[in-house]
Amino acid sequence: MTYTPCLRAALLAAAALLGAASSHAATLARVGDLQSGARPAGVPLDYVVTPNGFFHASCVVELGAGDRVAANGDVARADGSLRKATSCAFPRFGAAGQVVAAGADAPPPTINGWVVDSNSNANATPPAAKSVADFVVPSGPVSAGSQVLYFFPGLESAPNVISILQPVLAWNGFGDHAWTVTNWNCCISGTTYHGSSIPTATGHKIHGVMTGSTCSASTGVCSNWKLVATDNATGQKTTFNTQAHGQAMNWYFGGVMEVYGVSTCSQYPANGSITFSNIHFYDLNLTDSTPGTWNKDIGNVTPSCGYGITTTRNKTVITFTP
């Protein structure tokens, strides 16, 4: 077969993207890869970095296409096999090295590396059955070191947090010094689950949708959730099917910045901001329940990099000084 130069270039580009996506399996960034001065004391070097803190690798489960996380943490594989859930036998750690007991469910967000976020008043927002958000991939960091950066919208249940659903944009999440997108659900019985990853790049718009089904009006619980993150520039998407472990998702997050291993402000994206837009949350009747105003949180973290956040009903802009 004869290829034209343009077709050959397109095929090579597609192969590179597929190779990048498949190579991320089981290669999350390790604590030992972080700059020594930015590693929290007491966290084993062979632990991996996730959007939910530092985990032993055996307590991180990647799902393939068509797999599904059941309510008890079992994974029903697309081929009909079953991966039985086991409680994580290892403790996990927050961003500052705080210990979370082995087998524990999701901790409050504050113990992880959350720096800036917008969130709803969970006493006022009803359980959600769907969320939608767009976010544009920022520039690469000024200093491309070993730091790991995460940006995402999300859903949790308050006050009893067991699970967090999140389509996550990561820089260096897989030790690759590149941008990727992955859907996550943490942390039933101390285990965190994620779907496959797709590569993305600066300036691309990511469209994240989380949709619940088999929802109960009496409890507010949607038994099943489907998370789909799409790179609008390439058309690539990643899909993740899970349960929320009996949780009514009444705590909305319009935009979050979470970081690990950052020791200087130059390790943030060079453009100094990320924008989450077209943010919509819907209740069990699929009526728009997006709050008119958001709580805005900025953590007291080191280094201090001019962190800021502005919000409207359907937009969250997180800023920092790189």
* Conformation bin of residue 87: beta by default, left when phi > 0, alpha when psi is -120 to 50: beta
What pLDDT band is residue 1 in, cutting at 50, 70 and 90?
very low
What pLDDT band is residue 107 in, cutting at 50, 70 and 90?
low
Longest CA–CA span in the chain (Å) reads: 63
Structural domain of 315: 5-319
Total domains present in the chain: 1
Instruction: Show the tokens assigned to 283.
Output: 């209740």
Summarize pLDDT for 27-73 with one digit per residue, the tens: 899 999 999 888 999 999 999 999 999 999 999 999 988 899 988 88
What pLDDT band is residue 308 in, cutting at 50, 70 and 90?
very high
Residues of the chain with pLDDT > 90, as a percent, come to 74
Can you give the pLDDT at residue 85?
81
- Environment class of 297 (CB within 10 Å of its CB; exposed 0-12, middle 13-18, buried 19+): middle
